[in-house]
Chain A
Amino acid sequence: QKEVEQDPGPLSVPEGAIVSLNCTYSNSAFQYFMWYRQYSRKGPELLMYTYSSGNKEDGRFTAQVDKSSKYISLFIRDSQPSDSATYLCAMSVRTNAGKSTFGDGTTLTVKP
């Protein structure tokens, strides 16, 4: 079983929809949670990061962490065609700095 599970999709939504992207994990030592966006043939771009349970909001993006359920989410409000990309979750443990465990990524298409 993988340490981080992420539904690869693909996920297709109409413009303006609320998108929910999710990852589950098995390692309770994970304390740092990141979301990256990767456009086709480009490097990943850090979207959001959080060190604790709860919600963190940045514009149209909200990252949510539930450590008790070992579940993290990224919500995108008012989705735009420019949000079409692959979204990767990543997690790290405090004692293993430098190593992030990535999910396989979810491919999202937002249709105009």
Chain B
Amino acid sequence: DTEVTQTPKHLVMGMTNKKSLKCEQHMGHRAMYWYKQKAKKPPELMFVYSYEKLSINESVPSRFSPECPNSSLLNLHLHALQPEDSALYLCASSQSLAVLSYEQYFGPGTRLTVT
């Protein structure tokens, strides 16, 4: 099973709201990622977790707060977002950052609209 699931599929939120995106994988992968993708652009890395610890933060604004409660779950908490944060948010996983295996498996994404 090479599936990464994400909920919700769509989310509309106001600039004062707090919401969370959820990602789950059951492939036994120990690296999990959050990406942001704007229309007609490639995915842009936001965060990487390795063995449930934050490994990479690509200077993402603090209004985005990631959390990795266990090896299968990854959350992205959203607060006080701006309209320019509207995008497709993608979760991905890979076997591990330690193993020479760089291929990532992506979820279907959450399409976020900030009003």
Contact = CB atoms under 8 A, between A and B. Distances in A.
Interface of A: 8, 32, 34, 36, 41-46, 49, 51, 88, 92, 94, 97-100, 102-105
Contacts of B109: 42-43
Interface of B: 4, 6, 31, 33, 40-43, 45, 48, 50, 55-56, 88, 90, 92, 97-98, 100, 102-109, 111
B102 A49 contact: yes
B85 to A, nearest CB: 18
Nearest to A44: B106
B103 A98 contact: no
A46 B108 contact: no
A44 B43 contact: yes
Given A42-B109, A43-B107, A104 B102 contact: no
Q: Is the interface of A mostly helix, strand, loop or mixed?
A: loop
Nearest to A102: B42
Contacts of A88: 42-43
Nearest to A94: B100
A104 B103 contact: no
Contacts of A43: 4, 6, 88, 90, 92, 106-109
B90 A44 contact: yes
Given A36-B106, A43-B108, A104-B42, 17 more contacts: A32-B100, A32-B102, A42-B109, A43-B4, A43-B90, A43-B109, A46-B103, A46-B105, A51-B100, A97-B97, A98-B55, A98-B56, A98-B97, A99-B56, A100-B102, A102-B43, A105-B42
B90 A98 contact: no
Contacts of A99: 45, 48, 56
> Which of B42, B90, B107 counts the most chain A CB atoms within 10 A?
B42
> Which of A43, A88, A94, A102 counts the most chain B CB atoms within 10 A?
A43
Given A44-B43, A44-B90, A105-B42, A98 B105 contact: no
Contacts of B111: 41
A92 B102 contact: yes
A105 B37 CA distance: 12
6 contacts: A8-B40, A97-B31, A98-B55, A99-B56, A102-B43, A105-B42
